[in-house]
Structure 1
Amino acid sequence: MKNLPQTRQNQKKKAIEQWRYDTALELLEGRFYSADRIERHLVRKAIATRLKLPENANVDTHAAILQLAKTKQQNYRLVTTNVDHGFLLAAPTTRAISDAAPKLPVPKPHKWQSIVYLHGIIDEEADPNSEHLVFTSGDFGSAYLTERWASRFVTELFRHFTVLFVGYSINDPVMRYITDAIAADKRRGYTHFIQPYSLVGAKQDQFEIASLDWEAKGVIPLLYSDENDHIFLHKTLKVWSEYCRDGLDSIEHIIKVHASKKPLPPYDSDESVLLVIDSLKKEDEKKLRGQKNFILSPKIEWLPVLEKEGLLAMPSTNKNQSLSHHIAYDLMQPHPVTFTLWHWLVDHHLESIEFVEWVISKKRQFTPSVYSSH
């Protein structure tokens, strides 16, 4: 605002004090917008200039959000109301799979896989005067009420997808438009919108009030303490993205973080135990076949837990396999998870008293192919 030759009038001050920045910008732009004046785009250009990110900006959170928005086809389903280049800095290749206002895709599962810049994106070549960017209350009115290209997209989005809002306050203009419409439809008994959620920052002593405010808007809040510049939100997104990475990376991360801790009874109440066991049971056999080292040296105290959950005796689900002539006692090849756990026991705990006593008590026998790796 200080870069613009303007004097704040009472209306602008009141709008700013009430956090209605879109209204304040509309009033400000009104002073300069005239067809016969060269200053007509001064406000929009100044805003775009202020919103530009430096090339060395920290975009770790942007990268985490991109990971969470990745589809099985390695594309994205992400909608942002940011107009800056944060996601482009985090992943330059996403430019080729991006859509920007007012030209938006049809958000249906079989058609849409892209990053959608719902309120436009700064583009000095294609939009030198930033006319396609949604800043002012007039812009919002056009996007959601008169021209309706944004509202059509959002309506279809909520019909077909579970939406999670990240980084919004309940007073944001886009939230006012969207949540009021959802709440109104719910009151009328309509059920065509899928329930949306929002990661919401609030003071811990105001969680109850914040929860009620969001629920009144038809959105289920996932609350976190917003102290220290929303550090908990950033950490949560980064850890969550690591868990959701495709391939073996996610299980490696879970094992590295949680299996390094001793499991604590009662095991069904130990978060580390629940995460490790759930991850091992869900692993795809095709992914794991031939992989031996996704387990990163869990402590021997995990032995009774793994046995209790049946992970040390899981049969292979490969229907095409035949009896192996290279395995003693004509045993069937076990599930890769079981096979990997056997390697873990032999490679890291062969001389452990707990392991030896367990083998003797259970009369366990391991295949020659397991022994050969040690």
Structure 2
Amino acid sequence: MRHSIQGAILTPSGWRLGELQHEHGRIAAINAEPVDEATARASGAPIVLPGFIDLHVHGGGGHDTMDAGEAVKHIARTHARHGTTSMLATTMTAPAEDILRAFEAMGAVCRERPSQATRVLGVHLEGPYINPGKLGAQPDYAREASLDEVRALHALAPIRLITVAPELKGHIELIAQLVREGFRVQLGHSAGCYEDGVAALKAGAGGFTHLFNAMTGLHHRDPGMTGAALAHAEYAEVIPDLLHVHPGALKVALRSIPKLYGVTDSTAATGMPDGEYHLGRHKVFKCLGGVRLDDGTLAGSALTMDQALRNFVSLGLSVAEASARTATHAADYLGLAGHGRLTVGAAADIVVFDPALQLQRVVIEGETIDHPDA
């Protein structure tokens, strides 16, 4: 049975005012007239965008990916209500047995999407191959990377991203090996210099983890890992909650990195009231919109992707550009054909907003998600 959505529809060739039809989890037709964004928004019609893609999710709804068990299923349902239609479950730096247990639990959710949940594409292995001097909010279990460990974990649940500190012994060579085996590597939690970043990109690294955070900063005589990203990266993720990165720095990155995309770096506190939660083995506290360790260090976020879209628009981006940075660029970074854009034959992953950009409807593979949260 075909279902239809009426509104101002963002397609790869621009805005269209009319109707989108979907059936069997795919977009079947778009019958609409071309308009510009100003006309689309002034029409008062619902704003129809591709579903969000979040490549850095630690938790939500009171659950953390490292909890194993049913945790990722609950997390995926929390984020679905905020318009995320695809995500990567993201691990923390932890003892090997904790990571193994988390992967064992995530495999089933990656193989089959639970009802009313976002699609879990696989895992972002954020730790433990990071610099112990740039842990950020990661627990202190950092260690040098092991190709054998990566292979063993990948057999349990598909690894789609691996964060690596390139300055650690043997990591440049290992980045090249990982890329040859089909893994996508990005740089983060790094005390490395500009030259380390450039060498890692030449070895095949493709992006940067939560740009600006937990990496060496930019100085005009010592550009650091941040400078390598701003000078050379095509892709990088950033947390656009307006707490992790100052709006001015976000604008610098938006001008410098062609396909900068937003992630939530969300924690168990996402979608929950203020209070105490956990992030891996850390105790964290949600207060005034942020999530912190007891010493005040930012520890992930409580951001959702619908708010990320609104934050990008608040910085002066058009809705179309904000959509690209919350859906299309992430899809392209992972090579996800048929995702992150509304076109005939693509996945029926759709978010619908009112003219004030409050979320009204979420569709994932043709399934309408109950009770989307504005």
Q: TM-score range by the shorter chain?
A: under 0.3
**TM-score of the superposed pair, with normalisation by structure 2:** 0.27
**TM-score of the superposed pair, with normalisation by structure 1:** 0.27
Q: Which has the higher strand share?
A: 2
> Per chain length, whose mean CA-contact separation is higher, i.e. which structure has more relative contact order (CA < 8 Å, sep 6+)?
2
Quick check: which has more Rg, 1 or 2? Answer: 1
Q: Which has the higher helix share?
A: 1
